[in-house]
Amino acid sequence: MNQDNKDKPMPVDDLCLDLDRKNRCGFSEAIYAPGKPPEMILRAFSELHANGDHALATRVTPEQIEHVTSNLKEVIVNREAKTLRWMTDSSEEKTKVSQPLIITAGSTDRPVAEEAAETLRWMEYEPQLLFDLGVAGPQRLLKHVETLQQAKVIIVVAGMEGALPSVVGGWVSCPVIAVPTSIGYGTSFGGATALLGMLNSCAANVCAVNIDAGFKAGYLAGLMSK
């Protein structure tokens, strides 16, 4: 592909939604927004809504947000998560009983946690969020042990050395979904250090997803909360 073609926007007609995914997998297709023109996000939301599906777009840009929300007034924006969400009946959202728990090691990990939270809301769960409970101040986590032990599934978002999921795993009997973030100094290698630490966790109930993968963590937590 030459550079001229590479720089051309993706044609809106290239959109081919999997409108049967909810029947097969339980939840509709989510839209990964990078590289897509705003018009394509709008069309995807309109088609999903017409099909009776909730709509979610992740990693949206300000331009995409402006275009979609100027045409669809009921779309919910989370600028920190960089998500757009449109429920089929946004005036009467019904959340399920189970409330997955999301915690972060630091406040700078919050955008990834918010992406996970918006994914869960799209799946009709209302998560509980706790921020800034990293291992540098272990007394902060201890205040919430009772809450941790009541959870059915926990998402733990952490950068730096990624130690928090292992600590949480040692306190609970439920699955712990570890999300490494790209937060940290040079030898964090953009989240690779945290990812490797989580993959090597000695806590048997800890599993890891990809770096900054809030959507994947939220989706898995939603499946585990059924």
**How much is the pLDDT for 94?**
57
> What is the 3 state secondary structure string of 24-54?
HHCCCCCEECCCCCHHHHHHHHHHHHHCCCC
* Tens digit of pLDDT at every position of the chain (226 positions): 455 555 555 555 677 887 878 888 888 889 999 999 999 999 999 999 999 999 999 999 999 999 999 999 999 999 999 999 999 874 455 566 668 999 999 999 999 999 999 999 999 999 999 999 988 888 899 999 999 999 999 999 999 999 999 999 999 999 999 999 999 899 999 999 999 999 999 999 999 999 999 999 999 999 998 8
**How much is the pLDDT for 2?**
53
Amino acid identity at 86: W
Using alpha carbons, select from 150, 176, 175 the residue that is nearest to residue 165. 176
Query: Does the pTM of the predicted model rise above 0.85?
Result: yes
Length of the chain (residues):
226
Tell me the domain boundaries of the chain.
3-92, 101-224
CATH of domain 101-224: 3.40.50.1970
**How much is the pLDDT for 91?**
42
**How much is the pLDDT for 8?**
55
**How much is the pLDDT for 136?**
86
pLDDT in tens, 167-201: 999 999 999 999 999 998 999 999 999 999 999 99
